[in-house]
Amino acid sequence: MRNRRQHAFLAATAAISMGAGLVISTVPAAAATPATLSIEGDLQIAPDVHLLRIDAMGARDKDGMTNGTYTATVLTGMNPTPIQVKGPVTCIYVEGKTASLVYPISDVRPIGVPAGLKDVAAVQITVRKDVEGTTDKVGVVGPLPTASFQGCDPAATPFTFAGTVTTTGG
C-alpha cells in the first residue's frame, strides 16, 4: 500500500510540475504564419530555488501543421530529479518577446502513464522575454483536459525564467 501511495505521489508531482517528449503533428490552422520556438531553462520560485527545467522545441509550417517535443525535469533547488514529464508540442504562439506552447502529457518518467491516460491532460507553457526590461518570466497552466485548450494564446507568467528563449516568425 505504501508503494502505491509513493507511486501516486510521484505521478501527481510530475503531472503538476508539467512536461513531455514525442513528435506529433496537429490539425492545421487557417492561414498560418510559419513560426518556431525553442525554450531551454528553469522555472524559479525564488532565487536559487528552481522547480522545473524546461526543454521545448516547436515549429508551425505555412499550412498550420505544428510539431515538436517538450520535456520537463522536476528539480530540487538546482538539482534534477529522475522525474520527467514528456509530450508532443501541438500548438505554438510566437509574437514579439512572447512564446507559448501546449503539449499533452504522453509520458511521466520513471513511472509511465497508463495507456488510457496518455495525452488526456495537457499543459500550457508561456514565456515572456525581458519583462520590465530586466527579467524573463514563465507561467504554467494545467494540467487540464487536453480538449480544454483551444489554441495557445499566452497566459500569465508569474515566475522567473532562467534560460534561453529563441523564436522566429509569428
- Residue 31 is predicted with a pLDDT of 56
For position 44, what pLDDT does the model report?
95
- Residue with cell string 502513464: 113
Cα-flanking dihedrals φ and ψ of residue 21, to 5°? -145, 15
4-39 per-position pLDDT tens digit: 333 333 343 444 343 333 333 344 445 578 999 999
Instruction: Name, in order, each residue with C-beta under 8 angstroms of 62's C-beta and a sequence gap of 6 or more.
Output: 32, 33, 34
pLDDT of residue 88: 96
Cα 78 to Cα 48: distance, rounded to the nearest angstrom: 7
Would you state the torsion angle of the CA atoms of residues 73, 124, 119, 148, taken in this order, to the nearest 10 degrees?
160
Is 70 exceeded by the pLDDT of residue 42? yes
CA 109 to chain centre: 15
pLDDT of residue 82: 96
pLDDT digits (tens, 9 = 90+) for 68-126: 999 999 999 889 999 999 999 999 999 988 999 999 999 999 999 999 999 999 999 99
d(CA 144, CA 116): 16
Question: Do the Cβ atoms of 110 and 102 come closer than 8 Å?
Answer: no
**8 Å CB contact between 161 and 138:** yes
Cα dihedral sign, 150-154-160-163: positive
| Signed CA dihedral, 54, 139, 79, 4: sign only | negative
pLDDT for the residue numbered 134: 77
Q: How many CB atoms lie within 10 A of CB 7?
A: 11
pLDDT at 142: 93
Q: Quick check: helix, strand or coil at residue 88?
A: strand
pLDDT in tens, 138-170: 999 999 999 999 999 999 999 999 999 999 987
Residue 33, phi then psi, degrees to nearest 5: -100, 125
pLDDT computed for residue 133 by the predictor: 77
Name the pTM for this structure. 0.79
